Amino acid sequence: MTTDPILRARQVKALKAYYKDSTERFQEWVAGGYRGQPRECLPYPEFCRDMKCEAKTRSGHPCKNDGTSWANGRCKYHGGASTGPVTPEGKKRVSMNSRRQTPCGPHKT
């Protein structure tokens, strides 16, 4: 079921370009006050139609869900938002931001 990595990279690149263009066109329509019809979007990339997520599941097999839910070519279970910082610099930045926030409510010190 695993596809060629070069083909997969091309599919993901085309999918990202499609989603970026669609978002830009929608934002133009919103900025114009939703007047008229939104501009015609680019056609969906045909070679992305049968794209699968292919993330490795806990059982060790590739995920078989549709891989076009997110622009990164993963399904909604494997391509969601970030789970937080990984590098020491990122963790330090987050800890500094949390210290700047002041507590609210009855817990004020």
Domain ranges of the chain: 5-81
CB atoms within 10 A of CB 66: 14
Cα separation of 74 and 65, whole Å?
8
Model-wide pTM > 0.75: no
- Residue 30 φ then ψ, to 5°: -65, -45
What pLDDT is attached to residue 99? 63
Averaged pLDDT, groups of 10, the chain, 109 residues long:
78 90 90 84 85 88 84 81 81 76 54
Cα separation of 71 and 12, whole Å?
7
What pLDDT is attached to residue 104? 58
What pLDDT is attached to residue 49? 85
What pLDDT is attached to residue 106? 56
Cα separation of 80 and 68, whole Å?
12
Residue 56 pairs in a beta bridge with: 62
What pLDDT is attached to residue 13? 92
